Structure 1
Amino acid sequence: MKLRVFTPTEIVLEEDVVHVTVEDPTGSIGIRPGHAPLVTPLVQSILVARPAEGRQRYLALDGGVAIVNRDVVEIVSRQAVESDDPAHLEDSVLAEFERRTEEEKSSFVAFEKMRLSFMRRLLELEKG
């Protein structure tokens, strides 16, 4: 089956594989040729792809979506980083994804506070 991994800026991986393991909010999912059609959100995790020949491929995914249709698995993620060492991906890359997620949450909270403050002041001005 064909595995394609995309980010907003590039095609990270396009390869024929015999097995893919991804992780959604309910746990780990193994996908083999002939898998039932599926669309599922993905959590920050390590994708494992096993080609018919050669070494396994490991990609750290920053969440995303998996789409399985016939013998094609497509993964769309904000970021995807490949490594031969899954321990490295788990220790450093996923930690970096998590740190960025926390920074984005903090930025969103700060923006919302600013927006609410602006709305309050606007209402105060309207009341006179």
Structure 2
Amino acid sequence: MKLRIDTPLATVVDEESVLAFRGEDASGAFGIRPRHAEYLTSLTISVVSWTAAGGKQRCCAVRRGVLTVTPGRDIAIATREAIAGDDIATLERTVLSRFRDEIETERAERVDSTRLQLRAIREIVSHLQGGRPPSETFG
């Protein structure tokens, strides 16, 4: 099988002769071997791993993504960010925690931004109603 992992900026992994692949989606871990059926899933923040020709184990941390399997031949992953490596323990310990921290920071920033937008909308509505608090009109 052929494995390709792409980010918006680069191809991180492009490997021929993959003998077995392991990934993780919301339902848990799964494996793919040659002649696997067509498959599509959304990956979680995780480390995917595979066995290359010659038995060499490889891995790559992915920040979510979409995995597709073309019947029995190609595995493709499109992800926002990916970091390839040879040591799964190091990737799990350092890279995955960084990915999770970044997602939590992004989530907190979205919440703050939404609060600011709602506050601005309330102020605009109040101003348009002649200075009355929004609750007098909508309550």
- TM-score tier, shorter chain, comes to over 0.9
Q: What is the match of residue 78 of structure 2?
A: 76
Structure 1 vs Structure 2: percent identity of aligned residues?
A: 36
Q: What is the match of residue 10 of structure 1?
A: 10
Amino acid at match of 1:86: I
Q: What is the match of residue 93 of structure 2?
A: 91
TM-score by length of 2: 0.89
- Partners of 1:78 and 1:8 lie apart in 2 by 7
Greater Cα radius of gyration, structure 1 or 2: 2
Amino acid at match of 2:53: A
RMSD of aligned Cα (Å): 0.9
Q: CA deviation at 1:34?
A: 1.0
Deviations 1:55-80 (A, max 9, x none): 21110111111011121100011111
Stretches of structure 1 that go unaligned for 5 or more consecutive residues are none
- Partners of 1:49 and 1:4 lie apart in 2 by 12
SS at match of 2:49: strand
Q: What is the match of residue 42 of structure 1?
A: 43
- Partners of 2:41 and 2:61 lie apart in 1 by 17
Q: What is the match of residue 107 of structure 2?
A: 105
Q: CA deviation at 1:14?
A: 0.6
- Partners of 1:3 and 1:37 lie apart in 2 by 14
Structure 1 stretches of 4+ with a deviation exceeding 2 A read none
How many residues are treated as equivalent by the alignment? 128
Stretches of structure 2 that go unaligned for 5 or more consecutive residues are 131-139
Amino acid at match of 2:5: V
